[in-house]
Amino acid sequence: MCNMWGTCENGTEANGCGRPETFRNCADVSIVTSTAGVPPLFVQQDNPFLLYYKDYRSPNNIFPLVVR
């Protein structure tokens, strides 16, 4: 459990004076590559879950889509 920002009994506001929160199954997820933007070798091109974008200023360049 964690206390949120709220109004204390003396009228001031501070962290820890709010109603308690309960966090369940919380996670910060980050997926990064060590291959400089190139898909891993085990990923085949016919994988329907891969997303790529094409830079139309340079049509021969196709890059994997990275969402951060």
With a CB cutoff of 8 Å and minimum separation 6, the contacts of 2 are 20, 21, 23
Which has more confidence, 61 or 45? Answer: 61
Q: Which two tokens stand for residue 8?
A: 């204390």
Q: Kindly report the number of other CB atoms within 10 A of residue 2's CB atom.
A: 10
Q: For the segment 39-54, what is each residue's pLDDT rounded down to a tens digit?
A: 666 555 565 666 777 7
Among candidate residues 51, 65, 17, the one with its CA nearest the CA of residue 4? 17
Query: What's residue 35's pLDDT?
Result: 58
Amino acid at 64: P
pLDDT confidence tier of residue 8, bands split at 50, 70 and 90: confident
Q: For the segment 10-41, what is each residue's pLDDT rounded down to a tens digit?
A: 888 888 887 777 777 777 777 766 656 666 66
